Chain A
Amino acid sequence: MHRLTLAQIARGLAAKDFSAVELTEALLTRIGALDPQLNSFITVTAEQARAQAQAADARRAAGESGALLGAPIAHKDLFCTKGVRTSCASKVLDNFISPYDATVVEKLAAAGCVSLGKLNMDEFAMGSASESSHYGPVKNPWNTECVPGGSSGGSAAAVAARLIPAATGSDTGGSIRQPAALTNLTGLKPTYGRVSRWGMIAYASSLDQGGPIARTAEDCALLLGAMAGFDPKDSTCVDQPVDDYLAALNRPLAGLRIGLPREYFGAGLDPRLSDAVMACVEELKKLGATVKEIGLPNMQHAIPAYYVIAPAEASSNLSRFDGVRFGYRCENPQNLEDLYKRSRGEGFGAEVKRRIMVGTYALSAGYYDAYYLKAQKIRRLIRSDFIGAFQEVDLILGPTTPNPAWKLGEKSSDPVAAYLEDIYTITANLAGIPGLSMPAGFVDGLPVGVQLLAPYFQEGRLLNVAHQYQQATDWHQRAPEGF
């Protein structure tokens, strides 16, 4: 049963091949047995899951249908879940039982999803390896000595290991797409504003976007359809109808114009990954797509700009963790300053502290123009690059990451090296456009991801292309040994 995709589960439940309760029990057992190897879950909510599964079965018995009714998922642990610890993988929130549900959590629950628990991640979503968690690193099911990517590494590891068919994630600089790539999954970062951020604990507010991680584009379409939509509680959420993503899947690709940015294939890209990406391009050509080279000249400036904007916003967003109203508070604070400094100093991990300090510095008097404002200008240049490119092509394609998954600990002591891994993904966040990563082969037994980027609100096009590719290939069907 654990091998089923969401779409297959929907058919199975509809055909009464099994019940939501049976499926939930099977997966809970599997999580209990296998997750110790991966550390993908921070919290397993077995009781709630059983109750939700029973409710889903009851709804179905009462005549309800719906593709996600009874579908098991789990949430990245930065989505607030009422009554359940929502930790952001940080000591600061280790004792935080959220008093409310995120909109994404609410919407998926309303659609009938059964949440099995909360998934491990980089602390406050800051990282690309899921090693900075207070609850220990997540391991990649394809090679448990390797990282699963991050920050949604728990989501990726759990889905790749078939502990759950799909999960929510969040993507600020690649945190859905990069772990999807490193674990042979399909992950989608929607257009900024497509999915409500209410209840999704903020890292960098102008970049953060929630989205699905699953094994197929079809499953991503199913989940995104339920996650997306206007939310009056999020001012940055867009009031625009949600497309029928499932209907979009089956459009033929004939005439699709794909752009290959030359900047994505330069130095720094592992040539074996380059080969896999080009093989994918060949496959898409067979499906009717045309290909041309394009330029995104400002891409090279994206990393510096991102590592100003994201930490600047984070430094402010994370000020609320002060030990006063919720979360970690140091023992016996001597005075107010001691309360702040020790609660935050002891509660945050090294990478979070680093980014808070970088952001604080970038916003401080005398440096604002040189750092923050400069980065915002570069942000416009990057966006202009995309707008220009989409005049010529319908879709941009390239590698999701420059390298396959690396060994645990390999880059944890060198933050700059880790930051450079985000090179291909962060431009989509800076520009706010949607991006998807899909499986496209293997290098040394480790998955390779191809990234597709589309104009604003063209999630349907991304899912369509990925689905058509997945109809023609079977990379996405491969499972890691032992899972």
Chain B
Amino acid sequence: MQWETVIGLEIHAQLATRSKIFSGSATTFGAEPNTQASLIDLGMPGTLPVLNQEAVRMAVKFGLAIDAELGRSNVFARKNYFYPDLPKGYQTSQMDKPIVGKGHLDISLEDGTVKRIGITRAHLEEDAGKSLHEDFHGMTGIDLNRAGTPLLEIVSEPDIRSAKEAVAYVKAIHALVRYLGICDGNMAEGSLRCDCNVSVRPVGQEAFGTRAEIKNVNSFRFIERAINHEVQRQIELIEDGGKVVQETRLYDPNKDETRSMRSKEEANDYRYFPCPDLLPVVIEPDFLDEVRAGLPELPGEKRARFESQFGLSAYDASVLSASRELADYFEQVQTVCGDAKLAANWVMGELSSLLNKDNLEIDRSPVSAAQLGGLILRIKDNTISGKIAKMVFEALAAGEGASADAVIEAKGLKQVTDSGAIEVMLDEVLAANAAQVEQYRASDEAKRAKMFGFFVGQAMKASKGKANPGQVNELLKKKLEG
């Protein structure tokens, strides 16, 4: 039987506010345990929440960016359950009236097509603390520094049909929240977390299959692997005559498998009700206009502009607009060198491999956009060849010069274009290889073509790569024929 995969994602994005959603505690990552847990975060008796306006603004930004319905008023609700990292015994969240309603996001697939993914809603809520399971004499330690950090939970429609699409969607959300400056997107620190609802159904069937929820899959790679594994598990289960149970599963990256999270799945009854300590949040039209006016250019808009303004291919435009930092870098390089295609090639080629090799983000690039732009300028004006340019780039990456010009100067890499000088050099090369010259002249066309490269190589070697390759080719041909 042919199976179709159906995936819906719930992404929790920690909002990049300075203080927590309901208290004035700092949200800095990595502080000593419980040093960022105030009376409110600890759920001390008598304490009350007051909503952070920046969290509201960030959620609204996101809503505008996904073209969502933004209701005039939204309501906080309490989700009641007991867990030691949940100090009040309830999570303040949103239920019936979320701040962000129905919207959508377009994602680019590998084949270059664009797919629209529906976003059901996005709501504000507070994060929980952390349970540390290292052994404290058989006890668990609770750190509430994270408790009360604002989260935007982004719930997608079940529009996603493969693990690859899921990754593309998460990457698009990741890029978007970073573009908007509302989340740092650091998945390793848990700033962006993903729960995947996965089900399968026979191709052509309308009704959804029973879904399993895979919790907290925290890297793009794991999302793909966890979903693929889960899809396989479900198909095998059904084909063996079994049934998928609705449950929460945990992905184990070490074993590359998902397993059921609770042996006896407890029916949760969260007893949601409107939080009586918080009043409805009203979004005034003026506020909406103000936020809208402050929105940056979004990934989709940028991609389209890169195509139209710079004539980049759809693929190049989408790679370069994937993150705001990369796009900004590319645009700076382009501005300096005035050649978008060369800039794109260098950013996506040499620069990307350099960053990948050292596992660096673009904002930590050892070669600045100004440096790279300056380098490309020297390629364009024939000061250096493409090959020498790579040497210069490596020198810049190694910090061996403040600019391409400085490196070229210091290392004497300036291309030789004086044909007189090249001819002298070529004569020397031919003299030194007299036997090969004779052999060349005695050969037929096919053989000559093969041998020609040898002379070019020798010539470039003799010039230490500085001779203009075009001129070398031309003059060499003349001399050999002659």
Contacts and interface: CB of A to CB of B under 8 A. Distances in A.
Report A-B touching, CB under 8 Å.
yes
Interface of A: 78-80, 86, 88, 93, 96, 98-100, 102, 197-202, 204-206, 232-236, 312-313, 315-316, 318-322, 324-326, 336, 340, 360, 363-365, 368, 372
Contacts of B50: 232-235
A320 B271 contact: no
A319 B46 contact: no
Contacts of A320: 43, 45, 87-89
Contacts of A315: 80, 271
Interface string B20-51: 00000000000000000001001111111111
Given A204-B276, A365-B271, 15 more contacts: A79-B46, A197-B48, A199-B46, A233-B48, A235-B50, A235-B51, A235-B278, A236-B48, A313-B273, A313-B276, A320-B89, A324-B84, A324-B142, A336-B84, A364-B271
Contacts of A96: 45
Contact of A235 (B44, B88, B89, B279): B279
A86 B44 CA distance: 12
A318 B82 CA distance: 11
Contacts of A236: 48, 276-277, 279
A316 B271 contact: yes
B276 A206 contact: yes
Contacts of A325: 42-44, 87
A233 to B, nearest CB: 6
B89 A322 contact: yes
B89 A316 contact: yes
Contacts of B45: 80, 86, 88, 93, 96, 98, 201-202, 320-321, 326
B78 interface: yes
A233 B271 CA distance: 26
B269 interface: yes
B128 to A, nearest CB: 13
Given A236-B279, A363-B273, A372-B273, A316 B90 contact: yes
B44 A100 contact: yes
B49 to A, nearest CB: 7
Interface-centre pick from A80, A198, A202, A319 (highest chain B CB count, 10 A) = A319
B347 to A, nearest CB: 48
A348 B278 CA distance: 26
Nearest to B51: A235
Nearest to A193: B279
Nearest to B88: A320
A190 B277 CA distance: 18
A23 to B, nearest CB: 29
A339 to B, nearest CB: 9
B89 A319 contact: yes
A360 B271 contact: yes
B273 A368 contact: yes
A96 B276 CA distance: 25
Contact of B276 (A80, A205, A233): A205
B39 A234 contact: no
A235 B90 contact: no
Contacts of B277: 202, 205, 235-236
B93 to A, nearest CB: 13
A321 B272 CA distance: 19
Contacts of A204: 276
Contact of A316 (B48, B273, B279): B273
A199 B271 CA distance: 25
B44 A363 contact: no
Interface in B119-158: 142
Contact of A364 (B46, B48, B87, B269): B269
Contact of B88 (A100, A319, A336): A319
Given A312-B273, A365-B269, A322 B82 contact: yes
27 contacts: A86-B45, A86-B46, A93-B45, A98-B46, A99-B39, A100-B39, A102-B46, A201-B45, A202-B277, A233-B48, A233-B50, A235-B49, A235-B51, A236-B48, A236-B276, A313-B273, A316-B78, A318-B89, A319-B89, A319-B90, A322-B84, A324-B84, A325-B87, A336-B84, A363-B271, A364-B269, A368-B273
A413 B61 CA distance: 56
A98 B44 CA distance: 9
A372 B276 CA distance: 13
A202 B46 contact: yes
A192 to B, nearest CB: 11
Interface in B37-95: 39, 42-51, 78, 80, 82, 84, 87-90
Given A319-B80, A325-B43, A363-B273, A234 B48 contact: yes
Nearest to A325: B42
B248 to A, nearest CB: 18
Closest 4 interchain pairs by CB?
A319-B89, A205-B276, A363-B271, A206-B276
Contacts of A198: 46-48
B177 to A, nearest CB: 27
Nearest to B89: A319
Contacts of B89: 316, 318-320, 322
B287 to A, nearest CB: 18
Contacts of A99: 39, 44
Contacts of B51: 235
B269 to A, nearest CB: 5
A462 B418 CA distance: 103
Contacts of A336: 84
Interface in B237-281: 269, 271-273, 276-279
A318 B46 CA distance: 11
B86 to A, nearest CB: 9
Contacts of A316: 78, 80, 89-90, 271, 273
A372 B95 CA distance: 15
A88 B50 CA distance: 24
A408 B78 CA distance: 38
Contacts of A233: 48, 50
Contacts of A318: 89
Nearest to A102: B46
Nearest to B90: A316
Interface-centre pick from B39, B49, B89, B269 (highest chain A CB count, 10 A) = B89
A201 B88 CA distance: 13
Interface string B466-479: 00000000000000
Interface-centre pick from B84, B269, B276 (highest chain A CB count, 10 A) = B276
